Amino acid sequence: MKAILEFNLPEEHAEHIRAVHAMDAWAALYSIRDAIRSHRKNVHSNPEYIIEQISGIGLDAESLLGE
């Protein structure tokens, strides 16, 4: 079975970039979940650090997605 995505470029450039980098976005979500899980396990962890960590992951993902 095959699935073929088709985009009309340049009109659908943003959609194309999002499709190309979907695995990177998924990896970012996984990293965020992992950071939150780690924070919850360690009661002495710094909340500011986790916020900065999650913000960085989000910014990296946004840059890949052209945001």
Sorted by where each begins, the domain ranges of the chain are 13-64
**Taking a C-beta distance cutoff of 8 angstroms, is the pair 18, 65 a contact?**
yes
In this prediction, residue 61 carries a pLDDT of 86
pLDDT in tens, 1-35: 999 999 999 999 989 998 998 898 899 999 999 98
Rounded to whole angstroms, the Cα distance separating 26 from 13 reads 20
pTM above 0.75, yes or no: no
In this prediction, residue 67 carries a pLDDT of 65
Give residues with Cβ within 8 angstroms of 9, minimum separation 6.
16
pLDDT for 50 beyond 80 = yes
